[in-house]
Amino acid sequence: MNLSRRHFLKSSGMVLGSIPFISLANPFGISNTIKVGLVGCGGRGTGAIVQSLVADPNVVVTALADTFQDQIDQTLLILNKKDAKRVDVPKERQFVGFEGYRALIDSGVDVVLLCSPPNFRPDHLEYAVSAGKHVFCEKPVAVDIPGLKRVMESVRISKEKKLNLVSGFCFRYSEPNREIMRRVQAGAVGDIKSVTTFRYGGELTLKERKNTWTDFEYQLRNWYYFQRYASDLIVEQSIHSVDYMNWIMGNKLPKAVSATGGRQSRPWEAVGNTFDHFAVEYDYGEGVKGMHFSRQQNGTESRNSVEVNGTQGFVDVNIMKNYNIHGNKSFEYTGNINNMYQTQHDELMAAISSGGTVNDGDFMVNSTLLAIWGKIAAYTGRRISYEQIMDSKEELGPHSDGYNWSMSPDVTPIAQPGFKSFV
Q: Which of 132, 34, 137 is nearest to 349 (CA)?
A: 34
In this prediction, residues 266-272 reach a mean pLDDT of 91
Domains with residue ranges and CATH for the chain? 34-170 (3.40.50.720), 174-338+360-402 (3.30.360.10)
- pLDDT greater than 80 at residue 243: yes
In this prediction, residues 194-204 reach a mean pLDDT of 97
| Confidence (pLDDT) at 226 | 98
- pLDDT greater than 60 at residue 336: yes
- pLDDT greater than 90 at residue 25: no
- Give the model confidence (pLDDT) of 119-165 as tens digits: 999 999 999 999 999 999 999 999 999 999 999 999 999 999 999 99
Residue 28: pLDDT band (50, 70, 90) is: low
Residue 16: pLDDT band (50, 70, 90) is: very low
| Confidence (pLDDT) at 334 | 97
- pLDDT greater than 70 at residue 29: no
Kindly state the percentage of the chain with pLDDT values over 90.
Answer: 91
**How confident is the prediction for the chain on average, in pLDDT?**
93
In this prediction, residues 105-116 reach a mean pLDDT of 98
| Confidence (pLDDT) at 194 | 98
In this structure, of 26-40, 76-90, 303-317, 347-361, the range with the lowest mean pLDDT score is 26-40
Residue 17: pLDDT band (50, 70, 90) is: very low
| Confidence (pLDDT) at 5 | 25
| Confidence (pLDDT) at 22 | 28
Q: What is the pTM of this model?
A: 0.92
- pLDDT greater than 80 at residue 228: yes
- pLDDT greater than 60 at residue 19: no
Kindly state the percentage of the chain with pLDDT values over 70.
Answer: 93
- Give the model confidence (pLDDT) of 361-386 as tens digits: 999 999 999 999 999 999 999 999 99
